[in-house]
Amino acid sequence: MLTSGREMKLPTDLMLGRPLEETEKRSLPEFVEDLRKRMDRIHRFAREKLKIHSDKMKQRLDTTSTETAFKPGDAVWLYAPKRTKGKSLKLQSNWEGPYTIIKKINDLVYRILSPRSKPKVVHLERLAKYTGRNLPNWFVVEDPPPRTEDSVIRDE
């Protein structure tokens, strides 16, 4: 109906026959105008149904999701499942870390760092707050040394 403006004929319709629609002789412009109106009505109906269903899906997602935001310096776990041959998938750890949040790029993307890896850019969905009791000694965030005139790099 959405593509052709009429109901498709099914095999049972071809076998048993369908009641004949009133066929009146219409000119081509009248037929085109009628088809356009019918297609507009069908598409409006489909858009309304899609809107209703997308609102329901959003509402369902919003009730189950939690708003999580990290600040630079926070400790996090990174979800990075690895498949090791010969080991049960259930017994393998899917989380790496701890990592340090370096920068919040936008609401959903963060740059993280570990001393054993390069900085990574990851989505919020792959991060979880680090809940360990003892942070590794490398994790201590020290204040940067004060800037002096000699440490400033000038563009020339």
pLDDT digits (tens, 9 = 90+) for 98-128: 899 999 999 889 999 988 889 999 999 899 9
Residues 6+ apart with CB under 8 A from 34: 26
Average pLDDT, the chain: 82
Are the beta carbons of 127 and 70 closer than 8 angstroms?
yes
For residue 98, cis peptide bond before it (omega within 30 degrees of 0): yes
What is the predicted pLDDT for the residue at 156?
Answer: 42
Q: What pLDDT was estimated at residue 44?
A: 95
Distance between CA atoms of residues 103 and 92, nearest Å: 29
pTM of the predicted protein model? 0.52
**CATH topology for the 75-135 domain:** SH3 type barrels. (2.30.30)
- Return the H-helix or E-strand segment holding 80: none
Q: Tell me, what's the pLDDT at 22?
A: 56
Domain range annotation of the chain: 1-8+24-65, 75-135
Q: What's the pLDDT tens digit per position in 62-76?
A: 887 777 789 998 999
